[in-house]
Structure 1
């Protein structure tokens, strides 16, 4: 073919000959061995299949991947101390020492009444065993803790994944329910289910209530009584008899009320004995003293089952169901055992959903292959899908991975990607056999050799792109970490199948395809139509693109600019993580201080009646009762407690826990149901507050979370209240609260000179008052799986607010004096909780934003950061940080950007190695940014907000979208050696159109079922599907338009450079300067023509139409700058060509 006069013929040198030649020489022997050996390829296939079948049933199943928590908690109890005292005397001592522990990234402290908690967050991947040892050493080296404070308890936090809760309820006593729960726990322990906890069953408690008057009359202290009881309740082993026939112990177990009451305190002067019963009332306190649970008005207990680190949720729930079924016939009449919050059912349903989509996607891919390839070729190409998937499952099992929503989703993503390599090799083998007439084995071997470099490089670029996701840290990084791992394992397996197994099978398929059979006719008809389409559409289109290369590229950039402007304008909203709802709702309420436990029980009944009423209304409207289970409780809150709940009397707290039907069976979210519940709640003169909250799956934090520092406690509290008031004006915002609640009035007692003269000290007075007001734990003892306790305390009436006037204190000489004579009292107001972060006092404001309108949620978040917080900071003089979900979002995006940059760098290096060129990789990668056009338009078409999973899809797409570009450019470079660039482009586009179409179509069809999936539980994954499906579909068009245009423009630039050098050498520089002046004038004219209308619109305030991406002209104008630069380049080239003509 003659060389066109306007295109210089490239030098007849193959820039890849060096590397490719050596690669071919090394690989040809291996490929030839597998193609020509009768059994070797099938042996490898058998190993892949058998390994996968062995591993599949052994993979652990769970909802989300395990989350590694790099945190250690240090807890210290100091009974009776206020939050400020705990903060000053415990946290003030331990925090400085712990902040110096190596690896600590963040310290958070929380001081409440009688308790301190210090939470240490360590750097990612830090050795937590070493961290625990360092923390213990730091605590040992810290200063002394106050008298009465218990030893610090160090706990490594661990991920707890719930399997199910077994609710046992009925018209029997709690003691009997407890025995049933213990029996169930023992059965589950025997079955290997070891993470169990019984909720709602208080430990047995023997209560010894002393009468202060009797103590004074008999001259006995509370500590004396506690010492006697503790000694009697203990049993001490004393060893074995020398013959070994018996064991000796000292003491007897004195634990029941009668035995405790009979204990002797001391002998009286008249010879009688003073017993505990003479000065105290001894009784079993019963369960009403603590939290009590009810189902339909009957007492209930719950056995919570959690998954161990190596446990399988589905298998564990099966064990629970079997144990419950075995116990059901033996239960007392009216007692029931019900499984609620069964996560395994949810996991199974979601995994089945994804598997159904996978099967449908596989069927679509197979159907497409049969349309374009002959039946035998299609079968062997498609056989690589299950073989690669099974091999990947075996690799996942070996790596300790699990089957969960994320890893299974990653497997579905690869359905179409797996077959890409096989399509390229198989299609080329079919081409060589049909068009070139090569023998089957020769065609298969040469196809694998010829496509080796493009296929390996495209696989490497995809691996590198998904590996970029591994650089994302934090909890969300760990959430998506299974995606790159799974995809990489599948691609490795597909590469093995493509080059070691497929060529052998293709040789047999090509040998048998000489005779046309009936089932080959669809592919014959389709390929004839495709050949006509290539001849009548693709070739003329490519010729048009080469001729009008600058306008084509300019229009593509316009599309990119328009998409970017649409994204920046918020027309396609952003929502970082839309976690799937769990269908669990918790409602907490608190009573006024004048109420008692009976009032709480009464309001609990009203709350349950209101729940039943709302459920009936929803059933009447939608035909299905949304509530499947209701449990009420008194004595505490459920889930996340109300603000200040820790300072309230437990008898004044209550809750209701609801389980709703699956979200897929109701046309409303749990948050809509929560709003209806909140509005339907009854009013009661003794009810203080009631609040409902829904729950979601997965990691994350509060949608609104603001940390304020830099001021005293009063100012921080005022700033938090102001922020809550302003946020509450938005109806989409709910559950607003802050972390600093007002405490009870604190009475500060100071010794008078008289008290000091009588021998009292601050320490002795504090110890005595702590014992009288808080009681003394005299003894503990095991009772089944719980721990019983004997408590010595004063009656409630002697511990009320007027105790100062009635309480008598014993001096060292035995004299009893009124407490009011030896102390002075001042009243101080404080806060129930003192929080610090890295040593600085802080307050945290949190809340939730309804996810029903992502655009509105994004608007509220933006307004919070741009307006509300700066105004609050200026008004109250505080500093602020946005934390919670927003903080994790920033970290995720920062890490994602770094991972994307590293992935692009790696892709460039691989392409530079493959093409032996610095410029060719840029041409291949030029299609990457344009994939954003399809992604944005896809989200807009499906009315989906961009999310973190959209980012995951974009990063992954950057490696996939260039695969077709690699194959195309490789073919162009090969053809250009002896055909010239323009004919090479046209021939390569025509020849490679079928594999480009097939690889794109199979990937998109593999994802299509998920694209149309309506399940709410898969909705959070759909942004990735939309990004890949629309981005890759649009990317195929870009490969056919942008790559030829960029290659032709590159040739123009090279010719310009050569012409400029020649003009300088021949003295024709003035002509060049005239051309450049003309180009500059054209640029200024284009600038004015573009800028003036936009500026006029902005100045005049004219309302732009709804389809315009931005309300202002600034960003739009900036977006068009790139387009103008490209037009200027084109103008310069055209002017230069005219000048040299």
Structure 2
């Protein structure tokens, strides 16, 4: 089975809880803090990280490595969360699950000029067909769900003396299915069912809302606009300038990524003729290519090495010997392949790297055995089998010792903790099993093959010529050995303590050069990526059109890069495709992303790092953006920032001030760029408070909140399952009556006595800027600061030392309550 990367267990439980309409602060207070407090004292939890956003709270629980049964701990966490009695009434049930990782096999893009509804239905058809073809999971991104929107006009409410609550109850009571029991007769049983659930907008329009004293019926369509629309919010995907939807085929743990990719590629070829004119289905990214290329590299290296080995041994030693030594190498790899199959391991980037690495090592053992056997077989007074046995026995312990030292060098990789340990532990398994297979073949199989046959006295002209050439080369090698190597060897033995001291001195010098920073150390070297990605973010509340204009700037600059540097790539281009996304599914119009697919590294002369810099240089200034990040993805480098600092504390004002100070100091270091934090100001918030007059009239905060929420946020009355669609029935004010601040003040608030009072009589408003998200770590608010490092100027390790020496002491004088755990790729965490 083939996959891109080894499967890694996450050791993480995730709790997600939705609270529609709530701010980040409300989510933190009403959900996050309660769950965190209830989880205290549970054994097996390493740490808890939480994030509160508008409408949603997420808690990530990182488990300790010692946890033997994660399912037992998962159930304990579920029970603890379910015991919390006072979650908000409008919040949804918490979703608690052990996180499972899935990897992309292929990303398709459906693009063209067509209405949103048409594109959406086609994308979902593609999803269903891919699942039918064998893909276990397919995700469609950038589409909005349908909803049945019932938008009530305020004037109609007043005319018919209705409230939003009344309309909500009418809809709930008029659209339902209920099992009402059964009737059992002597011969049969009859189930009683009420089948009144309505699935289309047309069915809701005729709902009876009220009957007047004169018998006149008031239908829902008379007081509200009822229509089936897309949920509010905007998300626009574009591919090469056309409307687009991404379709991601994910690979499960038991699927072969290459077979799955081949199936999907075949599907794309056959699907294209069936699509409407002007709409195309293209492959945006094929992640199986990484595995395929590494397998091809392994095969290429193997046959080239075998050919070279065969001819060298044939030339210097013997044809039969060359043949059997060459055959022995595939046997060693066959042993590894068999053991990998038994243990359920896969061919992935790490195992293939291990096989490529060990390819050059296994050759040495067979050569050592065969050369010594050959020298014994030159003796005429001994049989070939005896010569093979004697030659093998003579070299057995030296070869075993050599292989053992190599095995010991790889053994520590088995004991690396955490995700990195899971990720890399398969590599020593591959190397060690291949070495043991090579040793077995050299000790038992190779001697048996070389021990058969007989001494041949026939000498062809070709053999005579080869013997002369071989003798000429051997004489030169012997001369070098006797003149230089043997005297040096004797001196080393005579002054053995001085020799050991020199070796130790060299080792210490090497360690000193690395520790002193004279030789830079980078845990993961930069590798060529397959994608360039730019994320842009504006302050919350920024209009969709402003974000879209910024995305178009990035698309334009990418086109300029492709035009300028296209001659460095295959077919006159270095960029294969450009996919952009403005907004997101959650309706946030202030964020956007542009992703470039690059030509394969072997088909272009420029590395992804250079193309990323050119793209950055060609992009015009994007004014008022909170954050713009350029990054490269798809290489073998780990997807982590070069530097990460967590700043945590109780007082949030002090925390934000410390973060800004830290970022400003960090930007002054040479070679440091893309300094950013995950703290973002949120939308402008209208804080509504009751006036004294409102209180006197009997209006409570709960009543005020309910009436405003019903009108401006809306009420989700019913959830419908219609075929493959999940459709919500939403009741709210019409869009025109909740489009500006004045609409709030036009709202009439109903008192307990039934009178309607102007909003500004019973309430007043204070405006402030809210927080878009609140991040927490182990019960405290925290802010993460990250940066990238130019490896040509400095390294993460050097940056870590500079932060420790130059920034932290200055900040610690003024800020005693904060801690700065620093995480760089070469270290897990250190406390400063």
> 2:185 aligned with 1:225, yes or no?
no
Q: Which residues in structure 2 correspond to 1:363-402 (within 5 Å)?
A: 363-402=307-346
Q: Deviations over 1:1021-1041 (max 9, x none)?
A: xxxxxxxxxxxxxxxxxxxxx
For residue 175 of structure 1, what is the aligned residue in structure 2?
A: 117
Q: Is the 8 A contact 1:108 1:837 kept in 2?
A: yes
Deviates more, 1:277-286 or 1:540-549: 540-549
User: Does the 8 Å contact 2:530/2:635 carry over to 1?
Assistant: no
Q: Deviations over 1:104-132 (max 9, x none)?
A: 11110111223211100112263322232
Q: How big is the shift at 1:316? A: 0.7
What's the CA shift for 1:724? 1.9
The secondary structure found in structure 2 opposite 1:890 is coil
| Preserved contact between residue 587 and residue 690 of structure 1 (Cα < 8 Å) | yes
Is 1:864 aligned to residue 803 of structure 2? yes
In the other structure, the counterpart of 2:12 is 71
Q: Compare the two structures and name the one with the higher helix fraction.
A: 1
How far residue 712 of structure 1 moved from its aligned partner, in angstroms, is: 1.4
Residue 573 of structure 1: which of 514, 520, 524 is its match?
520
Q: Secondary structure at the match of 1:771?
A: helix
2:305 counterpart (361, 365, 374) = 361
Q: 1:125 to 1:700 in 2, by over 3 A?
A: farther
Partner of 2:245: 301
SS in 1 for 2:771: coil
1:98 pairs, out of 39, 42, 48, with 39
Q: Which residue of 1 aligns with 2:611?
A: 673
| Partner residue in 2 for 1:1082 | none
| Partner SS state of residue 610, structure 1 | helix
| Corresponding position of 1:1127 | none
| 1:477-532 deviation per Cα after TM superposition (whole angstroms, max 9, x unaligned) | 222212111012212322332233222112115x3466666457365655555444
Query: Which residue is 2:666 aligned to?
Result: 727
Counterpart secondary structure, 1:744? strand
CA shift at 1:254, angstroms? 2.6
Partner of 1:769: 708
Structure 2 distance, partners of 1:867, 1:565, is: 23
User: Aligned match of 2:562 in 605, 609, 615?
Assistant: 615
Q: How does 1:889-908 map to 2 (within 5 A)?
A: 889-891=826-828
Counterpart among 820, 828, 832 of residue 772 in structure 2: 832
In structure 1, runs of 5+ residues without a counterpart are 1-59, 638-645, 894-1141
Change beyond 3 A, Cα 1:841–1:866: same
Distance of aligned partners of 1:686 and 1:730 in 2 relative to their CA distance in 1, 3 Å threshold: closer
> What is the deviation of 1:828?
5.2
Q: Which whole-Å CA distance do the structure 2 matches of 1:285 and 1:584 have between them?
A: 35
- Between the two proteins, the alignment pairs up a number of residues equal to 820
Is 1:806 the counterpart of 2:774 in the alignment? no
Deviation at 1:465, TM superposition (A): 3.1
More off after superposition, 392-401 vs 419-428: 419-428
2-side partners of 1:515 and 1:105: how far apart? 75
1:817 maps to which residue? 757
Computing the radius of gyration over CA atoms, which structure comes out larger, 1 or 2?
Answer: 1
1:756 CA drift (Å): 4.7
Specify which of 418, 424, 432 is matched with residue 488 of structure 1: 432
Counterpart Cα distance in 1 of 2:705 and 2:12: 34
| TM superposition score normalised by structure 1 | 0.67
Partner deviation per Cα, 1:977-1019 (whole Å, 9 max, x = no partner): xxxxxxxxxxxxxxxxxxxxxxxxxxxxxxxxxxxxxxxxxxx
CA contact (8 A) 1:716 1:878 kept: no
Are 1:600 and 1:653, in contact at CA under 8 Å, matched by a contact in 2?
A: yes
1:705 Cα deviation (Å)?
0.8
Matches within 5 A, 1:78-477: 78-124=19-65, 126=67, 127-236=69-178, 250-286=194-230, 289-435=233-379, 437-477=381-421
Range 247-256 or range 441-450, more displaced: 247-256
* Compared CA separation, residues 84 and 835, structure 1 to 2 (3 A): same
Query: Structure 1 residues 831 and 651, CA, compared in 2 at 3 Å: closer, same or farther?
Result: closer
Q: Which residue of the partner structure matches residue 446 of structure 2? A: 502
Distance in 1 (alpha carbons) for counterparts of 2:598 and 2:282 = 15
- Pick from 583, 587, 600: which aligns with 1:635? 583
2:518 alignment partner, SS class: coil
Q: What is the rounded CA distance, in whole Å, between the counterparts of 2:501 and 2:523 in structure 1?
A: 32
Structure 2 CA distance for aligned equivalents of residues 616 and 240 of structure 1 = 74
Partner of 1:703: 642
Q: CA offsets per residue over residues 441-472 of structure 1, 9 Å max, x none?
A: 22333444454444444444433332221001
- Contact between 1:429 and 1:443, CA under 8 Å: does it hold in 2? yes
Summarize the Cα distance change of 1:400–1:526 in structure 2 as closer, same or farther, 3 Å threshold: farther
**Distance of 1:485 and 1:620 partners within structure 2:** 44
Pairwise CA distance, 1:859: 4.0
What does residue range 23-42 of structure 1 map to in structure 2 within 5 Å? none
| Structure 2 CA distance for aligned equivalents of residues 195 and 711 of structure 1 | 42
Which string of whole-angstrom CA distances, capped at 9 and with x for unpartnered residues, describes residues 826-865 of structure 1? 55555332222111221111122234x1646654444233
Q: CA deviation at 1:183?
A: 2.6
Conservation of the 8 A alpha-carbon contact between 2:568 and 2:574: no
Q: Distance in 2 between matches of 1:581 and 1:636?
A: 29
Cα drift, residue 385 of structure 1: 0.7
Partner of 1:735, secondary structure, is: strand
Q: SS of the residue aligned with 1:266? A: strand
| Superposition CA RMSD, Å | 3.3
Q: Deviations over 1:597-645 (max 9, x none)?
A: 44544554444333322322223677832221112332239xxxxxxxx
Provide the secondary structure at the position in 2 that maps to 1:339: strand
Partners in 1 of 2:620 and 2:492 — Cα distance? 71
- 2:506 corresponds to: 559
The TM-score with structure 2 as length reference comes to 0.90
User: In 1, distance between residues paired with 2:328 and 2:576?
Assistant: 45
The 3-state SS of whatever aligns with 1:305 is strand
- Pairs within 5 Å for 1:927-1076: none
Report the equivalent of 1:935.
none
1:529-608 equivalences in 2 (<5 Å) = 529-549=476-496, 551-590=498-537, 596-608=543-555
**Aligned match of 2:682:** 743
- Residues 86-113 of structure 1: CA deviation (Å, up to 9, x unaligned): 2222122111222432211111011122
- In 1, the alpha carbon distance for the partners of 2:595 and 2:518 equals 38
Whole-angstrom CA distance in 1 between matches of 2:246 and 2:311: 51
SS at match of 1:497: helix
Distance in 1, matches of 2:748 and 2:147, equals 28
Deviations 1:671-703 (A, max 9, x none): 433333334334577877654333244544211
Aligned residue for 1:336, secondary structure, equals strand
Is the alpha carbon distance of 1:407 and 1:715 closer, same or farther for their aligned partners in structure 2, counting shifts above 3 Å? Answer: same
Distance 1:454 1:592 in 2: 68
Change (3 A) 1:830 1:292: closer
SS at match of 1:502: helix
Tell me, yes or no, if the aligned pair for 1:232 and 1:251 is still in contact at 8 Å: no
Please name the residue that 1:848 is paired with.
788
CA distance in 1, matches of 2:706, 2:528: 49
Distance in 2 (CA, whole Å) between partners of 1:774 and 1:385 is 69
Pairwise CA distance, 1:317: 0.9
* Pair 426,663 (structure 1): closer, same or farther in 2 beyond 3 Å: closer
